[in-house]
Structure 1
Amino acid sequence: MFNFFKLVQNENMKIYRRPRTYVMLGILLALIAAISIIGYFVDHNHNTSAWSMIMTEVMISYTLITVFTIIIASSGVADEFTSGTIKLLLIRPWTRSKILLSKYIAVLLYALGMVVVMLLFTVVLNIILFDASDNAAADIVSPLVSGSIAAYLIKYALLKYVSLIVTTTLAFMLATVSRSGALAIGLSLFLILGVNSFTPLLAALKYKWADYILFIHLDLTQYLNDTPLRDGSTMGFSIAVLAIYYAIFVALAWYVFKKRDVAA
């Protein structure tokens, strides 16, 4: 087990030794700061709620984090094949499953780290700049939502992270199967960002099979406001659909990686 932790640590070092990792983090924080600072100077009467700014920035930030995580997930395996360093990994006393699992865990930890830093930075910055006294979720998000906005934010962040895990796993699988980082990044972004634009149209389909389309269930936050895209759909059903897709993505990635001849 200790050796496996060292393997995960090694994969983390590969991620955090690259300048692009910090460039991505810098872009994320700079965008959040820019939105808050511009909002502060535009609101001359200082009536803007800190929590409304936080929710807006968290929604935007999650999209950016998804893009960045797709890039990291897609390049993690594909770059090993491109550079030929995958052979050096396979001659070490670790199974292929452990090698792939260590890369996968490192990517999920990167995504989690980005989310935590984003949330802390967003909350602290906006509480400093704006009035945080109005913390009722009904006033900030929707009259249908009860409780504090802080509790709503935590639920929102957790549900979004579940979607981020599924999206990351899809990109990871595509990179493992295709061995091409560029193809995996391009296809993942097209599926997640492009197809997602048509999600309301997909949800409007009157066919039963439409209940099982991945993209309809990716955004679990639709249940926080009790506004499911499909009539009669529940969070439990959406989670079950996501779990099935997740299992397929993981099984396909591991099967291909274990069976592929990488020594040639």
Structure 2
Amino acid sequence: MGNFGNLIMNENMKIFRRPRTWIMLSILALIALLMPVLLNEGMGSSEVPYWQAAITTVQVVFFLNTIFCVVIAAEAVAGEFTWGTIKLLLIRPWSRSKILASKYLTVIGFSILSTLLVVILATVMSYMLFSHSVTQDGSGASASHAFALWGYLYVDLFITLAIAFMVSSVFRSGALAIGLSLFIMFTQNLFSLIFNPVRYEWAKYVLFNNMDLSRYMGSETDFGLLGGGNAGMTLGFSVAVLAVYYVIFMVISWVVFNKRDVAG
């Protein structure tokens, strides 16, 4: 256990000793603090409930947060091959599974840290600026609503990181991992519209149609991305589908990484 702890510490040092990591975190912090200020300037503190201001801020910043986390995940494994440092890791008395696990846990740890940074700063700044809003009641925005939505956003991020980590492990290309993850982020809604579960029964099992859990906020049942019918999907169903995809992504990552010959 001590050796594994050293591995995780080593991976964290690789991430946090790079200036770009602190630049990314600083950008997230700055935007999380400025967005409520912009909302206050544009709409006035009496027009927006502070929980709604916090929700809006986190939703805006979370897109950038996902991109930054994907960059970290994409280079977790691919970077070792690019820099030729993977051989230095493999000659150590650690199994490949432990090495990959330490990298993955470090990526997840960074994503949790960056998410908490955004949520805390956005909430605190929103409270400072909008706590006296006269429209608090009946706005639909509350602590439970906010944290549920942010939880769903993190699930989307969690699955996107799993994809980036898998591509990084399989293809040893950070650029491909980042590009594919960004492609999924930008086209997720488009593919959900094309392969609508209301029209195609099999589309219920497509990854894109299950990543956005926030659509279940108003109901436990999804009534179709295009409307006009019940897609027959529930929150539990989507979580189960995502869990299956997640296991597949992790198994592929572990199998390929453990079988790969790095002698060349």
TM-score, shorter chain, exceeding 0.5: yes
Look up the match of 1:26.
26
Counterpart-to-counterpart distance in 2, 1:44 and 1:56 = 15
8 Å contact kept, 1:48–1:131: no
Identity, % of aligned positions: 43
Look up the match of 1:43.
43
Which string of whole-angstrom CA distances, capped at 9 and with x for unpartnered residues, describes residues 191-228 of structure 1? Answer: 22223344233225512210111011101111112262
Look up the match of 1:129.
129
Look up the match of 1:195.
188
Counterpart-to-counterpart distance in 1, 2:186 and 2:232 = 25
Look up the match of 1:232.
232
Moved more, 116-125 or 34-43: 34-43
Look up the match of 1:5.
5
Question: TM-score normalized by structure 2?
Answer: 0.91
Counterparts in 2 of 1:205 and 1:224: CA distance versus 1, 3 Å: closer
Return the match for 1:184 from 141, 164, 177: 177
* Residue type at the aligned position of 1:196: N
Counterpart-to-counterpart distance in 1, 2:181 and 2:223 = 22
Which string of whole-angstrom CA distances, capped at 9 and with x for unpartnered residues, describes residues 160-205 of structure 1? Answer: 2222211101000001111010111111111222233442332255
Which string of whole-angstrom CA distances, capped at 9 and with x for unpartnered residues, describes residues 8-60 of structure 1? Answer: 11111111111111111121122222322222222357322211111111111
Q: Which runs of 5+ in 1 are unaligned?
A: 142-148
How far 1:78 moved relative to its partner? 0.6
Counterpart-to-counterpart distance in 2, 1:186 and 1:54 = 30
Counterpart-to-counterpart distance in 2, 1:186 and 1:200 = 22
Look up the match of 2:203.
210
**2:99 aligned with 1:99:** yes
Question: TM-score normalized by structure 1?
Answer: 0.91
Counterpart-to-counterpart distance in 2, 1:44 and 1:239 = 39
Counterparts in 2 of 1:125 and 1:44: CA distance versus 1, 3 Å: closer
Task: Name the SS of the counterpart of 1:140 in structure 2.
Answer: coil
* Residue type at the aligned position of 2:12: N
Task: Name the SS of the counterpart of 1:206 in structure 2.
Answer: coil
* Residue type at the aligned position of 1:6: N
* Residue type at the aligned position of 2:244: I
Counterparts in 2 of 1:205 and 1:151: CA distance versus 1, 3 Å: closer
8 Å contact kept, 1:200–1:229: no
8 Å contact kept, 1:135–1:150: no
